[in-house]
Amino acid sequence: MIAIMVGIGKQYYDRRVTLERRARELVELEELGVLFDHRDGVVVGLHFPHNVPKPRHFQMATEFGEIEKLSAATGGSFSDSDATKLLANPKLKELRIPGHPGVTDQSLKTIGKLNSLELLELTKTSISDQGLVELAHLSKLRLLQLTGTAITSQGMEHLRPLQSLQMLSIDHTNVDDSGLATIAELRGLGFISLSNTKVRGGGLAALAKLPKLQGLDLSGCSLVDGSGLAELKQISSLTLFDSRIPPGLLSHLQAMDNLRDVNLHGSAVDEEQLVELGNASLLKILILGKTRASEVAMRELRAKLPHARIEGEPRDP
């Protein structure tokens, strides 16, 4: 009986000590200016909105041992040496380190060992095509953001093993049409953002192999060939914000059977292009912004698409 009572007393003491330690940890995080997520008193996420993680932060993360989310504000000094400390958090699911030029391909050697990762944001870091090979073992990765990096279409070859990917953002990179065939092998993709890339449209038809693809962003692209769009029967949302759109390209939208939402804001479509859009009878939302078309042409478009919500302005009188 005495042994049982001692055991119960020890369990109670251990639990109290644990709760007190966790309370101190939360207070210390607040004092360090760190935002955090916690579940049942256990810290599971660290967010650094105004500063970069410092050695003490990583030490604390190691002590917690249950960090699932880590994000550092854009413009900090997170570096390769910091990345090595991430291995102390095997449960890490989300890692966001945008705008940290000190993150290079060397960092990816460490990040590639975080097998629990589901979300990885490396926007405006100093990674290259060669470093992407280190991500091959991230079998659970669902979202990958490589915007504003030095990657090219050649680097897409290293993403082939990432068959769990659902969202891929490679805006403001040197990826061109030659990389789309490789991207099309990532069969789980539901959204691809290619804004301000070298894509001109010749390779778009390859994306027809993606059965789950719902959204495609080609904002800021200087498109030349739109024939491949007609093959993308599965897409429901197409963004061409501030894109250069040649005559005839929009005529291919009528062949996109599931297309419901098109954003052409900033693309300054003209009257002939409004006629092309008028044949896309299944559209529900059409955002035009300021156009180069007359008010009469705008009224005619609305008459052709009575079931669509059209947001746009005619050219100045």
> Could you give the C-alpha distances from 87 to 108, 111, 113, 141, 149, in angstroms and in order?
12, 8, 8, 17, 24
Angle at 233 between CA 271 and CA 147, to 5 degrees: 80
pLDDT class for 224, splitting at 50, 70, 90? Answer: very high
Q: What are phi and psi of 288, to 5 degrees?
A: -110, -30
Q: What is the CATH number of domain 23-175?
A: 3.80.10.10
| The CATH number of the domain covering residues in 190-317 | 3.80.10.10
pLDDT tens-digit map of 116-130: 999 999 999 999 999
Residue 313 banded pLDDT, cuts 50, 70, 90: very high
> What letter represents residue 257's amino acid?
D
Please give the average per-residue pLDDT across 7-15, as a whole number: 42
pLDDT at 62: 57
Question: Who wins on pLDDT, 15 or 249?
Answer: 249
Distance CA 45, CA 86 (A): 13
Domains in the chain: boundaries: 23-175, 190-317
38-84 per-position pLDDT tens digit: 676 666 677 766 655 565 665 665 565 578 888 887 776 778 888 88
* Tokens 């007393």 belong to residue: 9
Residues 34 and 47: their CA atoms lie apart, in Å, by: 6
Topology agreement, domain 23-175 and domain 190-317: yes
Distance from C-alpha of 133 to C-alpha of 138, rounded to nearest angstrom: 11
What average pLDDT does this structure show over 168-191? 98
